[in-house]
Chains A and B, each alone.
Chain A
Amino acid sequence: MTTTLTPTPTESAAAQPRPARRERLWTWMLVPGTAWMSLFFVSALLLLIALSFGTTDALGNPRFGATLDNITGIFNPTYLRVIIRSLGYAVSASVICLLIAYPVAYAIARHGGRYKNALVAMLVVPFFANYLVRMYGWQTLLSDEGMLMTRLRDLGVSASFQILDTAGAVIGGLVYGYVVFMILPIYASLERMDGSLIEAGRDLYGSSLRTFLTVTVPASRAGAYAGLALVFLPAMGDFISAQLLGGPDNLMIGNLIQEKFFAGQNWPLGAALTMALMVLLLVCMFAYLRQTARDAKEATR
C-alpha cells in the first residue's frame, strides 16, 4: 500500500500543497469505518476479554471479576478434544471446498464465454437464503425417512445406513455452506489471468498438464489461499452444521461456546473459550499472511 502511495521525490516537490490536502481527505475517510469497528468490534472484543476473567451471579448474568478459573478451565481435556476435532473438520471442509471449487471456477473463468456473469450469479443465488434455513433443509432431506434415504433404500441400501448425524454430514454441511467463498476468489484470480500466457506455454512445447502446473496454478494461488482462509476461519467457529446435521460424537467447539452463552449461562467461560479460538485462528491467519507476503515478493521479483 505505502509503496503505491509514496510519490516520487520530483513529483512531490512539484505539487506539494495539493497532496497534503488530499491525504487529509483520505484520512478523514477512515473515520466512519473506524467508528463502526470500534463500536461493534473493538469494544465488544474488549468486553469479551474483560468478561473472560469474570464470574456469574444467581440470575446467570455475567459480572466482572479477576478470576483465572475460566482461563484454566479451557485446558480441560474435554475442550481440547473438541478443539482438535473442530480443526479436523474445518481443514477437511477447506480442502474439499478447494477440490470442488477449483474446477468450477476454472470452467467458468476460462470457458464460460458470454455466460460467465450469469454462471457466477447462479452460483451466488442460493446463498441469498440464510445459512440456517438451508441447513434445516438439509436436515429434512437427509433424515431417515426423508426423500433421499427413502430413494436409496429402494435402491437396496441397507436400512442401518445413515447420513444424518455423522461426521460426513457435518463436513458436508460446512462445505455446502462455505464453498462459494472458495469459488469466487479463485474465479477472480483465474479471470484476471491473461489467456495468452497459456498459449505461450503451449507454444513453448509445454504439455497441457505442465502448462497448467507452471502457469495457471501459480497465477491462481493467491485466490486459492484467500479462499482457504475465507472457508477455514468461519468453518472453525461454526456450530449450526454440527447442531443440525451432527450426532453426539460430532460436536464442534462452536457448539460448546454457544452452549456456555445460552443454556449454560456461563458467559465468562464462553468468553474465555472464544478468546482461545480467536488466538488459534490468529495463528492460522498469520500463516496465511506470511504465505501471501512471500508470494507477493516472488511475484515482484
Chain B
Amino acid sequence: MRSSAPAISRRRFLFGSAAVAAVLATPGCAYLTPSAQRVVTKPVEPKIDGDLVYFNWADYVDPTVFEGFQTEYGVKVIQSNFDSMESMQAKLAAGNRYDIIFPSAQWAQKLVAANQLHTIDLSTLQNAPLIFDHYPNFADPWYDERSAHTVPFSMYKTGIAWRKDKLGESLTGSWSDLWNEDAKGRTFVLDDRDEVLGMLALLLGHDMNTAGTEELEDIVDEFRGLRPYLRGFSSDDYNNLLAGDAWLHQTWSGDMAALLWQAPDPSIYGFEAPVEGTPINSDTYAIPVNAAHPGTALLFIDYMLRPENVEKNINYIGYPMPVHGTEDIYAEIVADYPQCTVSVEDLARGLYFTNESVPKTQARDAAYTEMKVGI
C-alpha cells in the first residue's frame, strides 16, 4: 500500500532527472563544432555605432582617458575585466559580445586563425603611422599577417629582478644568475609554462618553443639543478619582491614600474635582460567578429593611439607602448632599470612564444608539470 502512495515513483523520478539533465547539458554541444576555414571579413568603418563594451585586464587604462573618450564622442564605456587570457577566451567562447579586447600576440594569432576577429584597415586609423612607420616589426608581425586584425598595444620582456642590497650591485647578465647561492630559498621563477621552459631553452641554446622529446628532457634535467634554489613558482613577481620573500625573481619588465612606484626604497632593486635572450611579449587591440559596436571600437583604438593618451597610459600602467614619440616617457620611468625598455632591436630578435599543435603543447605541459611537482 505504501509503495503506491508517492506521487512520483523512484523510477519516474530518476527518469525525469536524467531528462532534465540531458536538456540542460545541451550547452555542452558547443564542444562539438569543429573550427572553420579562414575567412576574410569586410574592414570595420570608423563611425560611432553605440556605447563601447570594453574587455581588458583590470587597471590597464588611465580612467581620465576613458572620460575623455566619453565626452568627446558622447558614448559610454562599459567596462569588464578578465584575469587571464584563458578566461578571456572562455568568455568569448561562451558567446559574450565585446567591442574591444586586448589579446596577447600569442592569443591574437589563435583568434585570427579561428576567424574570431574583425578585419581592421590600418589606413582608417589616423595615428597608425606613429606605430607602423617606426616599428617595422609590427607592419607584418608573426601573429597577424600585415596586422590585418590587430593593432599593437603594449610590449614587455622577461628578465631577472634582484635585490641589490642582498646580492650586490650587478649580476653577470645571464640566465644562470638564477643559480645563486646567496639567494638560495629566496629565488622564484614565474608560474608560467612558456616562460620557464623558454628561459631554460635559451640558457641551453635550444629553440624557445621546442617540443622535442630530447630537448624537453634536457630542460627538465637542467631544471632539477635549479629546483633546490627555488622558493616557488609565482607570477606575482613584484609583490614577492616587495614583501621580501624574493631576492631573485624571473620577472616581467612591465611589473618593474609597479615595483618602483610601491617600494619605499626602489634603489635596492635591479633588473637585467640576460644575454642569451629575453622572450618578448606584446598585447594588442582587437575587435571580435560578434562585436555589437565595431565602429566605436575602431574610433577608440585611434583615440587611444593619440600620443597624449599613450603618455597618460604609460604613466598609469608602466608598460612601454610602441608609439613614436612616447619612448622617452617610459625610459624616464625606468631610468634606474634601463634594461626594461623594449627597443626595435629587441623586437627584431624574434624571441616570442608561438602557438604549437595540440600534441606539442601537451608535451610541453607534461614537462612543465613534471618540473613543478619535482620527482
Contacts and interface: CB of A to CB of B under 8 A. Distances in A.
Nearest to A42: B21
B312 interface: no
B58 interface: no
B372 A248 contact: yes
B86 interface: yes
Contact of B7 (A23, A39, A77, A249): A23
Nearest to A82: B373
Interface string B239-265: 000011100000000000000000000
Contacts of A42: 17, 21
A46 B25 contact: yes
B92 to A, nearest CB: 9
Interface of B: 1-2, 5-8, 13, 16-17, 20-22, 24-25, 28, 31-32, 34-35, 84, 86-87, 89, 93, 110-111, 113-114, 185-186, 191-193, 227, 230-233, 243-245, 355, 357-358, 361-362, 365-366, 369-370, 372-375
Given A38-B21, A42-B21, A63-B32, A265 B361 contact: yes
Interface of A: 6, 12, 19-20, 23-24, 27-28, 30, 34-35, 38-39, 42-43, 46-47, 50-51, 54-64, 76-78, 81-82, 139-140, 143-146, 160, 162, 164-165, 246-249, 251, 256, 259, 262-266
B25 A47 contact: yes
A165 B365 CA distance: 23
Contacts of B372: 248, 251
Q: Which of A42, A57, A262, A263: most chain B CB closer than 10 A? A: A263
B196 to A, nearest CB: 11
Q: Which of B22, B32, B365: most chain A CB closer than 10 A? A: B365
Contacts of B232: 165, 246-248
Given A262-B84, A266-B365, A61 B5 contact: no
A165 B6 CA distance: 56
B259 to A, nearest CB: 14
Nearest to A149: B244
B6 A27 contact: yes
B31 A23 contact: no
A43 B6 contact: no
Contacts of B113: 58-59
Given A61-B93, A248-B227, A77 B375 contact: yes
A12 B231 CA distance: 70
B358 A57 contact: yes
Contacts of B87: 262
Given A30-B8, A165-B231, 10 more contacts: A35-B20, A38-B24, A43-B25, A58-B35, A64-B31, A78-B375, A82-B373, A143-B245, A262-B84, A266-B365
Contacts of A12: 1-2
Interchain residue pairs A-B with the least CB separation, the first 6: A145-B244, A143-B243, A24-B7, A43-B24, A38-B20, A43-B25
B5 A23 contact: yes
Given A39-B24, A46-B25, A60 B245 contact: no
Nearest to A150: B244
B179 to A, nearest CB: 15
B18 to A, nearest CB: 8
Contacts of A63: 31-32, 34
B363 to A, nearest CB: 11
15 contacts: A23-B5, A30-B8, A38-B20, A58-B114, A63-B31, A64-B28, A64-B32, A77-B375, A140-B243, A146-B244, A165-B231, A165-B232, A246-B232, A247-B231, A264-B193
A12 B21 CA distance: 36
Contacts of B244: 143-146
A57 B7 contact: no
A262 B86 contact: yes
A81 B35 CA distance: 37
Q: Which of B21, B32, B89, B110: most chain A CB closer than 10 A? A: B21
Given A54-B31, A55-B358, A263-B84, A19 B5 contact: yes
A59 B31 contact: no
B370 A78 contact: yes
Nearest to A23: B5
B86 A164 contact: no
Given A82-B373, A144-B243, A62 B24 contact: no
Contact of A60 (B24, B89, B233, B373): B89
Contact of A58 (B192, B358, B366, B370): B358
A17 to B, nearest CB: 11
Given A28-B7, A140-B243, A165-B245, A248 B233 contact: yes
B289 to A, nearest CB: 14
A27 B372 CA distance: 51
B185 A160 contact: yes
Contacts of A55: 358
Given A43-B25, A265-B86, A266-B365, A145 B243 contact: yes
A35 B6 CA distance: 18
A5 to B, nearest CB: 9
A23 B6 contact: yes
Contact of A51 (B31, B231, B362): B31
A139 B240 CA distance: 10
Contacts of A60: 86, 89, 110
Contacts of B21: 38, 42-43, 46
A249 B371 CA distance: 11
B95 to A, nearest CB: 13
Nearest to B25: A43
A145 B22 CA distance: 54
Contacts of B231: 165, 247-248
A30 B42 CA distance: 53
A246 B373 CA distance: 12
A100 to B, nearest CB: 27
